Amino acid sequence: MYLHGTSKINAQGHLEIGGCDTTDLAQQFGTPLYIVDEALVRQRAREYVESFRASGLKFQVAYASKAFSVMAMCSIAEQEGLSLDVVSDGELYTALKAGFPAARIHFHGNNKTPEEINMALDANIGCFVVDNFNELYLLNALAADKGKRVNVLLRITPGVEAHTHDYISTGQTDSKFGFDLGNGTAYKAIQETAAQSNLELLGVHSHIGSQIFEVEGFAMAVDKVAGFAVQVRDELNVTFRVINLGGGFGIRYVEGDTPLPISQYVKAITDSIKTNFSAASYPLPEIWVEPGRSMVGDAGTTLYTVGTSKDIPGVRKYIAVDGGMSDNPRFALYESKYEAILANRANDPLEETVTIAGKLCESGDKLIMDLELPKAKSGDLLAVFCTGAYNYSMASNYNRVRRPAVVFVKDGAADVAVKRESLDDIIGNDVIPARLQTSAAR
Ligand SMILES: *Cc1c(COP(=O)(O)O)cnc(C)c1O
């Protein structure tokens, strides 16, 4: 069993996180419950910031809020001096309402609507990461309407493919994102940006994928971006002040996952920047990165209550919990792997191999295949580790299941950051048109 951050097994044999006994948390807040180890989130943020400080380069660490976008998390990002990436009006609204400084917000996405762009212009966000020509011209026009000149990075597709699951690779040429470097589109985009009077080109952005365990992909991306920067300087007399290398830094979900320490990713990137740009006598650019998963992933644990089981002799035994793909769709989407323990019997010997299923009406509604557990009984608590990223943010109300609460734990205190949805929340946006109302409702 691998325990992340402040997680430990206490004298009662219970899982404890942030000084809080998880059996108490289950009692107090109910299950399913997302638990966030606040100290671990802050530790990750500091690892990034301190590693960049050590490089001597100017930098911004922008938390990719899509991994887990809630107001409390925006507050922590603000307190730790991070910047913030958003990709929708909803994420932007969350950040602004949390009091996150607009100047440190970067807006991403391959299909930003005019409404979203206007909202971000009105808020005076720090930077737009422009993804395509439609957006380039639209942003320029909308900025001109408001008499503003806005900072932009151009998202380029460097043609580097991260060694990761196909669904989450975005650096290759066949991608819906960005201007392609290899076929001249990125070059054209630089020319077009320079020709727009309401856009201020800061530099370029590249994101090569997610859950990456090696530094080579990042170093290759830096090589390509640096080569491009030099070409653009020499031929177009445009100098990049910012290079954004995206996110994608891996985390340990299960045994066999071998992420590097954050400091090593940062060192590989900053070393490679210094080497490439110095060699071309290019003023060292400011480096931005955008970690999402690695900022919050291992700080999250989901607590479920065990319900029913089904033993199919010679095939498998299912244990069902009170959540599932509605709070964690990652197995259904990617067959993602997780580790889990019985939180209330963490020292009991492992006795059987089971498959953890959810309660939703899909055969694919599973959380973990072939997990070793003590013989789980109805009422036991199952803790699934590393659910901080892309779980709550991907949760749904499928089957009209209510989304769980989120609690932040630290030094023995547990505070609600998101309330559990109520049944009235479930029908909150429903309207029965008058002609469809039943007599009982009339
Ligand atoms: C998803 C994404 C990130 C964050 O990726 P992680 O793998 O969670 O670190 C950063 N930048 C961009 C552009 C993204 O699409």
* Ligand-binding site membership of 292 (annotated): yes
Angstrom distance (rounded) from CA 251 to CA 265: 12
- Catalytic, out of 20, 74, 127, 361: 361
Domain identity same for 332 and 403:
yes
Domain identity same for 313 and 375:
yes
pLDDT band per the 50, 70, 90 thresholds, residue 161: confident
Tally of domains in the chain:
2
Q: How far is the CA of 69 from the centre of ligand 1 (A)?
A: 13
Q: How far is the CA of 39 from the centre of ligand 1 (A)?
A: 22
Query: For this structure, is 127 an active site residue?
Result: no
Domain identity same for 191 and 333:
no
Give the residues across from 410 on adjacent strands: 413
247 is in which domain, residue-wise?
108-291
247 CB under 6 A from ligand 1? yes
Q: What is the pLDDT of residues 166-196, one digit of tens each?
A: 545 555 678 899 999 999 999 999 999 999 9
Flag whether the pTM goes above 0.85.
yes
Closest atom, ligand 1, to C-alpha of 293: 8
Domain boundary among 291, 314, 349: 291
Domain identity same for 313 and 277:
no
Q: How many Cβ atoms from other residues are within 10 Å of residue 24's Cβ?
A: 12
Residue having the nearest C-alpha atom to atom 2 of ligand 1 = 247
Q: What is the pLDDT of residues 14-30, one digit of tens each?
A: 999 999 999 999 999 99
Residue having the nearest C-alpha atom to atom 15 of ligand 1 = 207
Domain identity same for 182 and 313:
no
129 CB under 6 A from ligand 1? no
The CATH number of whichever domain residue 249 belongs to comes to 3.20.20.10
Angstrom distance (rounded) from CA 358 to CA 361: 9
For residue 230, tell me if it sits in a domain: yes
Q: Which of 129, 134, 123 shows the shortest CA–CA distance to 154?
A: 129
Test site for ligand 1: of 290, 387, 390, most ligand atoms within 8 A of the Cβ: 290
Q: What is the pLDDT of residues 35-94, one digit of tens each?
A: 999 999 999 999 999 999 999 999 999 999 999 999 999 999 999 999 999 999 999 999
Q: How far is the CA of 151 from the centre of ligand 1 (A)?
A: 20
Domain identity same for 335 and 349:
yes
Domain boundary among 262, 291, 320: 291
Domain boundary among 265, 291, 317: 291
Domain identity same for 121 and 172:
yes
Domain identity same for 220 and 201:
yes
Q: How far is the CA of 64 from the centre of ligand 1 (A)?
A: 6
For residue 59, tell me if it sits in a domain: no
Mean pLDDT of 401-426: 98
Domain identity same for 313 and 223:
no
- DSSP string of 70-84, one letter each residue: -HHHHHHHHHTT-EE
Q: What is the pLDDT of residues 288-302, one digit of tens each?
A: 999 999 999 999 999
Test site for ligand 1: of 47, 66, 179, most ligand atoms within 8 A of the Cβ: 66
Domain identity same for 134 and 279:
yes
For residue 141, tell me if it sits in a domain: yes
Asked if residue 80 lies in contact with residue 48, where contact means CB atoms within 8 angstroms, the answer is no
Domain identity same for 287 and 314:
no
